[in-house]
Amino acid sequence: MAQRIMHIDLDAFFVSVEQVLNPELKGKPVVVGGRPDRRGVVASASYEARAFGLHAGMPLTTACRLCPHATFIEGSFPKYRHASQKFMAILADFSPYLEPVSLDEAYMDATGFESIHGSIHQMAIAIKQHITYKLSLYASIGIAGSKVVAKVASELSKPDGLLEVADGEERPFLAPLPIAKLPGIGKKTERILNGLGINTIGELSSMPLHALRSHFGAAGELLHRYANGIDDRQVKLPGATKSISRETTFSKDTKDRSLLKATIRYLSERIGSELRQRDKQAKRITLKLRYADFTTITRHYTLGQGSNTDQTIFDTGLQLLRKALSAKKKPIRLIGIGVSNLIEPGRQLDMLNYSAKRLEQLNKAIDRIRKKYGFTAIQTGRTLLLKEIFPETKGGYTLQTPSLSR
């Protein structure tokens, strides 16, 4: 059976979220990106603003000159992340073969789903209706036999569009389009190709492969394939989390052991709570230290059994710290804790181990309180020391340069 791939992308995403929250902005030129008197560029422009020539990436000063009566909004990322999560949840209801690409964009492998919806086209209509009904947002969908053609189709169909490219029709569909419509062709590549007299995807598709290679190296081969509608990339499900780490840089290099311990405690609690939220246990704990002279070391320890309790992560981190400090006495600039070798918390082997069970219950109770009242609502004596050092918000302490590596 021929593969059927959908590319789904929300229209004017940031702006549309703002319009849902403030309906007065609907149907008007609106720009998210910042205040026009500040430096910065357009992140998202409503289609009404695009009619004045505004587009993403344009300096706000230019945008303001072209369309002075537009409403300029600074924007706030948490709102967009929240909308994005709801959008992805709707898509996941239709098919588990989902690859989120960015906040407002995903590929879906819909091969075989016609038996449920009558046709893939009908399925796309249902997806669009759900998105508009539940989120008041509009999506554009492209359907084709490959990712690259599905993406070109959804772009071309915008706004509120739906465009299906039939199997075998990929090349004639792409041929008349300007090369800038092909994913992978940025401003620079476009200029070079235009200089060679290549303006449409059709012209690009018939350029000899060796000529493309000589201009663009390995990327030339990809351009050749895409221009011919050939793309064997599969829809990739997001990989399982392999590791979680948290780190912070001190505002002043330090040798203060109680501060180091308090910070490790806090980072361990952060990691423990994330592990429990993801329903994972870790077998390997890693300590990272960066000294004042920027030399960086990592030390790790593998546990006999997986764990997700704050205490185990902290105890192990502390042991690693003690060893590292006894070897080197230099002041520390950054400290981090990470966990890896993540496993599903299978059946509890030590069900009879009373203290392990108690610890697990304690962590669960702490998680519940924190969910309700904020991360720092409940603290051990050790992390209270951090009160003096880091600003506190409902989400927890605001560490310097917090890293959220996966």
User: Which residues contact ligand TTP by CB under 6 A?
Assistant: 9-14, 43-44, 56-57, 104-105, 158-159
Catalytic annotation on 105?
Answer: yes
Name the DSSP class of 344.
Answer: -
Q: Residue 345: is it exposed, middle or buried by C-beta count within 10 angstroms (0-12/13-18/19+)?
A: middle
CB of 99 or CB of 310, closer to ligand TTP: 99
Q: Of the two residues 104 and 164, which places its CB atom closer to Mg ion in the complex?
A: 104
Could you give the CA distance from residue 174 to residue 111 in angstroms, rounded to a whole number? 22
The rounded Cα 181 to chain-centroid distance in angstroms is: 24
Here the tokens at position 27 are 């149907």
By CB under 5 A, what part of segment 90-149 binds Mg ion? 104
For residue 102 the two structure tokens come to 């960015």
**Two structure tokens written together for 215:** 């201009």
Nearer to ligand TTP, 158 or 213 (CB): 158
3-class secondary-structure state, position 114: helix
Any idea what DSSP says for residue 118?
Answer: S
Nearer to Mg ion, 16 or 263 (CB): 16
Work out how close the CB of 95 gets to ligand TTP at its nearest, in angstroms, rounded to a whole number: 21
| Alpha-carbon separation of residue 210 from 204, 207, 337, 350 (angstroms) | 12, 9, 49, 64
In the complex, least distance from residue 182 CB atom to ligand TTP, rounded to whole angstroms: 16
Cis preceding-peptide flag for 159 (omega within 30 of 0): yes
- As measured in angstroms, the least distance from the Cβ of 363 to ligand TTP is 37
In 231-386, the DSSP E strands lie at: 244-254, 281-291, 296-307, 332-343
> Cα separation of 49 and 37, whole Å?
18
Task: Label residue 160 left, alpha or beta by phi (over 0 means left) and psi (-120 to 50 means alpha).
Answer: left
Smallest CA-to-CA distance from 127 within 179, 162, 75 is with: 162
Of 18, 99, 105, 247, the catalytic one is 105
CA distance 387 to 379: 11
Q: How many residues bind Mg ion (CB under 5 A)?
A: 4
Site for Mg ion contains 247 (CB under 5 A)? no
In whole angstroms, how close is the CB of 19 to Mg ion at the nearest point? 14
Type of residue at 220: G
According to DSSP, the residues that pair with 29 across neighbouring strands are: none
Please, which residue, 99 or 104, has the CB nearer to Mg ion? 104
Least distance in angstroms from the C-beta of 103 to Mg ion: 9
Q: Among residue numbers 288 through 347, which ones bind Mg ion (CB under 5 A)?
A: none
Beta bridge partners, 338, equal 245, 286
- Closest to ligand TTP by CB, 12 vs 185, is 12
Taking CB within 5 to 8 Å according to partner kind, which of Mg ion, ligand TTP, none is near residue 18?
Answer: none
Hunting for tokens 């303006």 — which residue is that?
199
Burial class (CB in 10 A: 0-12, 13-18, 19+), 88: middle
CB of 104 to Mg ion, least distance (A): 4
Beta carbon nearer to ligand TTP, 57 or 168: 57
User: Min. distance of Cβ 58 from ligand TTP in angstroms?
Assistant: 10
Assigned token pair, 50: 């695009």
Binding at 99: pick from Mg ion, ligand TTP, none (beta carbon under 5-8 Å per type): none
Strand ranges in 114-176 using DSSP code E only, listed in sequence order:
139-144, 162-164
- Among 8, 13, 201, 396, contact with Mg ion (rule: CB under 5 A): 13
**Catalytic residue list:** 105
Binding positions for Mg ion, rule: CB under 5 A:
9-10, 13, 104
